[in-house]
């Protein structure tokens, strides 16, 4: 089964909807540059409503170690997602496993890969634009879980899974009415499209 991560969550009702549909991971954005950025207080409240078994992910770009560590403990995060180069030193200090958000042309160092929770291929760097999926084909056998992000929608996620067979998919803007405001109908169609491919119906 393809894991589904719903990212950029800012509202309790959207967290509830994602969980009810079966999200495997939910993402809270702490990056200063993001229109979906939330405060630590909001993250604590949203994370408290996430049931056991659904992984809580904090998304960061240029934030320093202190800020990341504080968010991990204050919001009870299970994973840290870093959209920047991830050297072995980052793996060593992070209090929880790391998802490395990278472009197809810039994978993490080979000695880092097995120590990561996953690599998130996102050439759009969180901008929600579709990258060059063909460039990822040669990366499929890396020794790490691989998630796909960047411009995924209910309309194209099925094709992306069929072509690349990622371990998981990550969506934010593709299921929104506005930045940080999820659309329940789009969310439901996204989950349905993923499960359709998983069950061999497409």
Instruction: Give 88-146 as a 3 state SS string.
Output: HHHHHHCCCCEEEEECCCCCCCCCCHHHCCEEEECCCCCCCCCCCHHHHHHHCCCCCCE
Q: What is the pLDDT of residue 105?
A: 75
Bridge partners of 178?
181
Q: Which of 16-20, 23-27, 89-93, 133-137 has the lowest mean pLDDT?
A: 133-137
Q: Nearest to residue 10, comparing CAs of 173, 166, 122, 123? A: 173
Give me the pLDDT at residue 202, please.
47
pLDDT above 80: residue 124: no
Its pTM stands at 0.93
Number of domains in the chain: 1
What the block records as the tokens of 195 is 């499960």
Q: Which of 14, 78, 90, 122 is catalytic?
A: 122
Q: What is the pLDDT of residue 142?
A: 79
3-state DSSP: the chain helix, strand, coil percent, rounded to 5? 35, 20, 45
CB 109 within 8 A of CB 78: no
Residue 58 belongs to a domain with what CATH number?
A: 3.20.20.70
pLDDT-based confidence at residue 132 (cuts at 50, 70, 90): low
Res 139: pLDDT: 61
Q: Is 122 a catalytic residue?
A: yes
pLDDT bracket for residue 38 (50, 70, 90) = very high
DSSP state for residue 78 in the 8-state scheme: S
> 170 with 5: CB under 8 angstroms?
yes
**Band of pLDDT at residue 170, cut at 50, 70 and 90:** very high
Told to judge if 14 belongs to the known catalytic residues of this protein, a careful annotator would answer no
Compute the mean pLDDT over every residue in the chain, rounded to the nearest whole number: 91
Give residue 125's pLDDT: 55
Note the pLDDT of residue 7: 97
- Give the per-residue pLDDT at 133: 66
**What average pLDDT score do residues 67-83 get?**
97
What is the per-residue pLDDT for 122?
A: 87
Q: Per the residue annotation, which of 7, 14, 78, 170 is the catalytic one?
A: 7
pLDDT at position 179 is: 94
Could you give the C-alpha distances from 87 to 39, 90, 100, 164, in angstroms and in order? 27, 6, 10, 26
170/168 Cα distance (integer angstroms): 7
Taking alpha carbons only, the member of 31, 56, 59 closest to residue 44 is 56
State the residue range of the domain holding 144: 3-198
Nearest Cα to 30, choosing from 4, 63, 6, 66?
Answer: 63
Pick the more confident residue, 28 or 144. 28
41: pLDDT strictly greater than 50: yes
On the question of pLDDT at 155 being above 90, the answer is: yes
**Per-residue pLDDT at 140:** 60
- Residue 171's DSSP bridge partners are 6
**What would the mean pLDDT of 71-79 be, rounded to a whole number?**
97
């Amino acid at each position: 089964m393809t894991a589904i991560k719903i990212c950029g969550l800012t509202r309790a009702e959207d967290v509830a909807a994602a969980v009810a549909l079966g999200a495997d991971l939910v993402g809270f954005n702490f990056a200063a540059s993001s229109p979906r950025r939330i405060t630590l207080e909001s993250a604590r409240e949203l994370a408290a409503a996430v049931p056991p078994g659904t992984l809580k992910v904090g998304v960061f770009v240029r934030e320093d170690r202190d800020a990341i560590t504080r968010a991990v403990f204050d919001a009870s995060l299970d994973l840290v997602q870093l959209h920047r180069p991830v050297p072995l030193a980052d793996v060593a200090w992070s209090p929880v496993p790391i998802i490395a958000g990278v472009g197809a042309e810039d994978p993490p160092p080979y000695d880092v890969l097995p120590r990561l929770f996953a690599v998130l291929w996102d050439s759009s760097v969180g901008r929600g634009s579709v990258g060059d999926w063909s460039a990822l084909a040669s990366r499929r056998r890396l020794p790490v879980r691989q998630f796909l992000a960047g411009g995924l929608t209910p309309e194209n996620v099925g094709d992306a899974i069929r072509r690349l067979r990622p371990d998981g998919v990550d969506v934010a803007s593709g299921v929104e009415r506005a930045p940080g405001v999820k659309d329940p109908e789009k969310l439901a169609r996204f989950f349905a499209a993923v499960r359709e491919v998983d069950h061999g119906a497409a």
